[in-house]
C-alpha cells in the first residue's frame, strides 16, 4: 500500500537577494526518508530552512497533512532540525542541551526529567549526561543533537549535512544510527547533502541545482538515468558518449559511437543520442568469458588513477572509464598498455535525446 503525502511544497519561491529558491514543487510521503542532493551553493540548506519556517516565502505554499502552514511560526510546526555543526549550547551539559526544547514548552520539571532520561536511554547516551559539548566526539555530538531534536516529538526530522563533520568510521556508524532512529520513531525525515554516498540512504532523492529541483525519483533512477549532461556530470556518471542509432529491433538498439558499437534498450528507432554509463557498472577482464553482458568491448589500459584507498579509476584508450577495487586490480594484475575487455549490460545504459 502506497503511503500518503504528508508534506507538500507548491510553487515555493524565496528571494535571498543574490540567490533565489525557484518554483519548488515536492510531495514527501509519510515515514519517508527523503534526500535533497546537490552541489555546494545549490540552495539545499535554504530549502530546508524554508520548510522549517525560518524564511518568508516570496510565492507558493507549504502544506502539512493538507493544512497550509506557510505563515505558521517555526515553533508551531512540530519540526526537529539538526544542523551540520549540531549547534549545541557550549555552556550547557548534555542533559540540559537535550531538555532545552521541553523547557521552552514550559513542561513540569518532573516530566522534563522523565522524558530526557528516557531519550538518553533510547540513544544509549546516559553516561554522557554531565559532559559538555567541547568534551564530546563528533559522533557523540551528533547523537546529542538528534536527541534534542527528537525529544519534542516532531512530525518531521530535518537534517542539514548531518555526517559532514565525521571521520569515515564514525560516519558509517552515524548513518546506521540515523536510519534506526528514523525507522524506530516512525518519522518523516528530510536530509540535505552534497555527498552521493549519503544520498543512497534515501527512499527517494530530489536533485537541486541553482535553487531549482531538476529531478526527483528513487536512487537507482537518479544515479543511473540522469535527465541531462549537467546532472550526469554532478552525479559522477563519467561515461557520457555521443552516438547514433543504426537499428532498433523490439526495443534493443544498436548505437554507433566514435570508437565502438553499443547495444542498449531504447524507445527511439533512429537518430542521434547521448549515452550515460556509470563507471562502476562496467566489468573488466583480460580474456573473453561467458556471461549475460550484452556489450563486450576490446581496448587497452591508458591510465590508472587512485580515487580512494579502496577504489581505482581505469581509463581506456577508447575513452571508457571504469571503477574497480584495489583488490580487483591486484587479482587482474592490470597495467598500463594491457589489453582488456570492458563488459556491461544493455540495461545499465541510460539513453537520452
Residue ranges of the domains in the chain? 5-232, 237-352
Q: What is the pLDDT of residues 121-153, one digit of tens each?
A: 988 899 999 999 999 998 899 889 999 999 998
pLDDT of residue 103: 93
Q: Are 348 and 277 in contact (CB under 8 A)?
A: yes
pLDDT of residue 293: 65
CATH class of 5-232: alpha beta
CATH class of 237-352: mainly beta
Residue with cell 550515460: 276
Task: Give the CA distances from residue 233 to residues 101, 160, 229, 265, 339, in Å, rounded to whole numbers and listed in that order.
Answer: 42, 23, 6, 22, 28
pLDDT of residue 301: 97
Q: What is the pLDDT of residues 286-325, one digit of tens each?
A: 887 776 667 999 999 999 999 888 899 999 999 999 999 9
Cell of 103: 523547557
pLDDT of residue 180: 86
Q: What sections of the chain are H helices per DSSP? A: 44-52, 94-104, 109-122, 138-150, 168-184, 196-199, 219-224, 229-234, 326-332
**pLDDT under 50: residue ranges of the chain:** 1
pLDDT of residue 1: 41
pLDDT of residue 288: 76
Q: What is the pLDDT of residues 36-61, one digit of tens each?
A: 999 999 999 999 999 999 999 999 99
Amino acid at each position: 500500500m502506497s503511503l500518503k503525502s504528508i508534506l507538500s511544497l507548491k510553487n515555493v519561491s524565496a528571494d535571498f537577494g543574490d540567490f533565489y529558491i525557484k518554483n519548488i514543487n515536492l510531495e514527501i510521503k509519510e515515514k519517508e526518508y527523503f534526500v535533497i542532493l546537490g552541489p555546494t551553493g545549490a540552495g539545499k540548506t535554504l530549502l530546508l530552512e524554508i520548510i522549517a519556517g525560518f524564511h518568508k516565502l516570496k510565492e507558493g505554499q507549504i502544506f502539512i497533512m493538507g493544512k497550509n502552514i506557510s505563515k505558521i511560526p517555526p515553533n508551531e510546526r512540530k519540526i526537529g532540525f539538526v544542523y551540520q555543526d549540531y549547534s549545541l549550547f557550549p555552556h550547557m551539559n548534555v542533559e540540559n542541551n537535550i531538555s532545552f526544547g521541553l523547557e521552552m514548552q514550559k513542561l513540569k520539571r518532573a516530566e522534563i526529567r522523565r522524558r530526557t532520561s528516557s531519550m538518553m536511554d533510547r540513544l544509549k547516551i546516559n553516561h554522557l549526561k554531565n559532559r559538555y559539548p567541547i568534551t564530546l566526539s563528533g559522533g557523540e555530538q551528533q547523537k546529542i543533537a538528534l536527541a534534542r531534536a527528537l525529544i519534542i516529538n516532531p512530525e518531521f526530522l530535518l537534517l542539514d549535512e548531518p555526517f559532514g563533520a565525521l571521520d569515515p568510521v564514525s560516519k558509517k556508524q552515524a548513518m546506521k544510527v540515523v536510519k534506526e532512529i528514523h525507522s524506530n520513531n516512525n518519522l518523516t525525515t528530510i536530509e540535505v547533502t552534497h555527498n552521493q554516498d549519503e544520498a543512497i540512504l534515501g527512499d527517494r532523492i530530489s536533485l537541486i541545482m541553482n535553487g531549482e529541483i531538476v529531478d526527483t525519483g528513487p536512487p537507482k533512477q537518479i544515479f543511473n538515468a540522469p535527465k541531462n549532461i549537467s546532472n550526469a556530470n554532478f552525479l559522477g556518471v563519467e561515461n557520457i558518449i555521443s552516438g547514433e542509432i543504426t537499428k532498433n529491433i523490439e526495443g534493443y538498439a544498436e548505437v554507433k559511437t566514435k570508437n565502438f558499437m553499443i547495444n542498449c534498450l531504447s524507445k527511439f528507432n533512429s537518430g542521434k543520442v547521448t549515452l550515460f554509463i556509470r563507471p562502476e557498472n562496467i566489468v573488466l577482464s583480460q580474456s573473453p568469458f561467458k556471461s549475460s553482458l550484452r556489450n563486450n568491448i576490446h581496448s587497452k589500459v591508458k591510465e590508472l588513477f587512485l580515487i580512494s584507498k579502496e577504489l581505482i579509476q581505469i581509463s581506456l584508450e577508447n575513452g571508457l572509464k571504469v571503477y574497480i577495487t584495489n583488490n580487483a586490480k591486484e587479482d587482474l594484475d592490470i597495467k598500463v598498455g594491457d589489453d582488456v575487455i570492458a563488459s556491461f549490460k544493455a540495461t545499465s545504459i541510460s539513453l537520452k535525446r
